[in-house]
Structure 1
């Protein structure tokens, strides 16, 4: 009997962990339509909204998309994310550009007779 329960637990664990959280800032049409209550029209509206207005900062901002209300957000809130970790990455990319520009200035101000 013990192996039966262990197997059942293992199957349950796999099925619940297999469901991926979808980033509404990067999700494709197919990924967004896999969400309950989001069909092709609403998924397209999400994509158009983020292209026009920019990335979502909070999941709740999804209510600004035409056709999506509080009920749909409540239904899918555990299945979606805005990618909270994407903020520092974007800042790093900006900092990298600034560092490259700064290094370019240093190279230009360094006399050519000085060897590194």
Structure 2
């Protein structure tokens, strides 16, 4: 029962996470905001961003080693690329 409560709390936390700007956020923020992205993958996102420049599309996240298209798809609604919405 404790396991189920802990799992529910974890899922609930991610369900209410704020969208994250993958072009500016630190690894901890990315890991806390995206499902299926732990600290190691978040660090890989930052390393890729540093070497290749800002992500131009959410789909570009799949170019990061260890992150597949399914992970990108389930997180699309929580990923932003710019600090302000386009008008």
Shared fold (TM-score greater than 0.5)? yes
Superposition TM-score, scaled by structure 2 size? 0.73
Residue 21 and residue 36 in structure 1: after superposition, are their counterparts in 2 closer, same or farther (change >3 A)?
Answer: same
C-alpha RMSD of matched pairs (Å): 1.9
Moved over 2 A (4+): none
Matched, 1:68 2:67: yes
Out of 26, 29, 40, the position equivalent to 2:27 is: 29
Number of matched pairs = 70
> Which ranges in structure 2 are unaligned for 5 or more consecutive residues?
1-15
Is the Cα–Cα contact under 8 Å of residues 21 and 83 in structure 2 kept in the other structure? no
Q: What pairs up with 1:57-96 in 2 under 5 angstroms? A: 57-83=56-82, 85=84
Structure number with greater CO (CA < 8 Å, separation at least 6) is 2
